Structure 1
Amino acid sequence: MKFNNGEYKLSINGINHWIKIEGYENKTMPLILIHGGPGGNHYNFERTVGRIISKERTVVYYEQRGSGRSDKPESADDYSIDLLVSDLKVLKDLLGIERADLLGYSFGGELALEIAYAFPNDINKLVLSGPSLMYSNIQQLIQIQGFMSVATDAMRDRIEFILKEKTSLEEKFNQVWSIVDTETVDHFLFEDQSNAEQNRKLWEESGLKNTGQMMKALYKKPPQVPLIYRLNKIKHKTLLITGIHDRNTGLSVSKMVDRELNNSSLKLFSNSAHFPEMEETEKFVRLTLEFLNTKD
């Protein structure tokens, strides 16, 4: 690697990206972290599980174009899965990384799979925490069901009303997200509400906002062949981590991904929802490091 520990802004495909390196002194194969959203950031991960993993591994954070502390493109046309994949490739080359492990959570897990598919020789192992399949209807159905399972009676009635309307699934999905309140979202994302409180405090402390622009843009440009039909081409050794209470990307999605991949193992976290790294941190770190440190 050409860069030591610290924070950087690197121009990648015309966009200044926020980069942070920790654990350079460990001299391990770099572990590149890929956040979710789409349009999220690494702020919470940095301050929780990331700082523990970097005690043993060389960790590279980067925030995707238009996300977190990275700059935003001028046009919504400057978002696509292909561009996000290309950004990672350019980043890796700029940092002087020959091969890297990837750890992606939520949408970051889906993006990690796209990267491994596009550049198989550049990637070593994959760790996927609650990966999404955003171009599949199953994702929207899981989230609507998830909200209904934790909503108050009044909120559930409002969702039921939306579901009875003669609109498309996408319209119903967007409407549901537009009406859910903070309490419902916290119960949707976390099994233990003390973890939800910590998460929200960090969100507020960061001052970073997800505008939703990337998600809207990506939905308008789906891949010609959905990822689910290409997973069987990915040969990398993969660790899948999923909370059994995940109401966002869902256990069923992780099982689909695990079934289609060639060389994966699925580990379930019984006390976690969508963020096992925050709800069962010790177990998350232990399994991740055991997986990454095992010689093939």
Structure 2
Amino acid sequence: MKYIDGEYQLFLNEIGHWIKIEGSSNKTVPLVIIHGGPGGNHYVFERTAGPKLAEERTVIYYEQRGCGRSELPFSEDAYSIKLLIEDFYCLLEQLGIKKVDILGYSFGGELALEIAFAYPEIINKIVLSAPSLMFSNTVLKTQLQGFKTIGDSKFLERMEKVLSQNMSIKEKWEKVWALADSKIVDRFLFEDQKVAKYNRWLWENSGLSNTGKMMEALQMNPPCTPLEKRLNQIKHHTLILTGIYDRNTGLKISNIFKQELSNSKLEKFKNSAHFPDLEEEKKFVTTTLDFLR
């Protein structure tokens, strides 16, 4: 298939995947955007930072199996890191692309590194925006601490009751998230609440939702060797972009990536939480393009 601008449905591993191509006339190494969640979609990114990247780069979006505008897999548990990596490889095969740059945000950053580990020869440069380590307790602790910094008195009182119970950290984390209403979540994810409001408006307009099935399946079937233990084997030139107020994945996680990825650079965003692509869009785009040139 010759890749030209437009939206397509491609069958990858027998599942219809939504893809979108912009900026093909730029004829650059394609930049594949990998969304987070797990279970998210690209609706916001393709209306904000994405088109600005496509002014200079060839940009390819795809939504993972069971996510956004892609089809659900045949089984609710047909999700694994291995399958997601295979889907990505199939995408490049169908498009006839030998090498790409990748930009992964949140869980997408983690998946980007898994892809680079599995198929180092097909990856050129890597951009990680607020990357996660979803199988690490460090993320759970980061998020619990983050809620403490933005919760109102009522939320904090209910949260403390949960934290005082005799449960695993994962159980506490699940219960605390269940307590958070949309206003708490917006304060958790964003510093600027005007940006949070715009983001939520886009979420609602998309008509897309995260079923939670991918997250559930991935947590039931984590990689045999945690990504954190394999990071030092990834040698690609990597840019890490992180908001200093990120309460979701946090600077602590980004510093782990910076320390373990030998060929990496960390760029901090001083006015952003989990979405520097939205809160400091101009700097996000400029920094990313400078790195990719």
How many angstroms apart in 1 are the aligned matches of 2:96 and 2:214?
Answer: 28
Q: Match for 1:145: what amino acid? A: Q
In the other structure, the counterpart of 2:188 is: 188
- 1:34 lines up with 2:34 in the alignment: yes
Aligned pairs for 1:49-128 within 5 A = 49-128=49-128
3-state SS in 2 of match to 1:78: coil
1:104-128 CA deviation, whole Å, 9 max, x = no partner?
0000000000000000000000000
In the other structure, the counterpart of 2:17 is: 17
How many angstroms apart in 2 are the aligned matches of 1:216 and 1:15?
Answer: 20
Q: Match for 2:256: what amino acid? A: M
3-state SS in 1 of match to 2:44: helix
In the other structure, the counterpart of 2:169 is: 169
Structure 1 residue 73, shift from structure 2 partner: 1.1
- 1:227 lines up with 2:227 in the alignment: yes
- 1:289 lines up with 2:279 in the alignment: no
Q: 2:15·2:73 contact (CA, 8 Å) conserved in 1?
A: yes
In the other structure, the counterpart of 2:204 is: 204
Q: Match for 2:69: what amino acid? A: R
3-state SS in 2 of match to 1:222: coil
How many angstroms apart in 1 are the aligned matches of 2:219 and 2:76?
Answer: 11
In the other structure, the counterpart of 1:273 is: 273
Structure 1 residue 77, shift from structure 2 partner: 2.5
Identity %: 58
RMSD of aligned residue pairs (Cα, Å): 0.7
Q: 2:77·2:213 contact (CA, 8 Å) conserved in 1?
A: no
TM-score computed with the length of structure 2 as normaliser: 0.99
1:129-166 CA deviation, whole Å, 9 max, x = no partner?
00000000001111111111100011011111000001
Q: Match for 1:93: what amino acid? A: E
How many angstroms apart in 2 are the aligned matches of 1:4 and 1:182?
Answer: 38
Structure 1 residue 3, shift from structure 2 partner: 1.7
Structure 1 residue 49, shift from structure 2 partner: 0.3
How many angstroms apart in 1 are the aligned matches of 2:74 and 2:2?
Answer: 30
How many angstroms apart in 2 are the aligned matches of 1:256 and 1:106?
Answer: 14
In the other structure, the counterpart of 1:45 is: 45
Consecutive aligned runs of 4 or more in structure 1 exceeding 4 Å deviation: none
Q: Match for 2:181: what amino acid? A: D
How many angstroms apart in 2 are the aligned matches of 1:101 and 1:2?
Answer: 18
**Please, which runs of 5 or more residues in structure 1 have no aligned partner?**
none
**Please, which runs of 5 or more residues in structure 2 have no aligned partner?**
none
Q: Match for 1:132: what amino acid? A: S
1:64-113 CA deviation, whole Å, 9 max, x = no partner?
00100000113122100000011000101101111000000000000000
Question: How many residue pairs align between the two structures?
Answer: 293
Q: Match for 2:281: what amino acid? A: T
How many angstroms apart in 1 are the aligned matches of 2:236 and 2:279?
Answer: 27
Q: Match for 2:97: what amino acid? A: I
How many angstroms apart in 2 are the aligned matches of 1:26 and 1:156?
Answer: 50
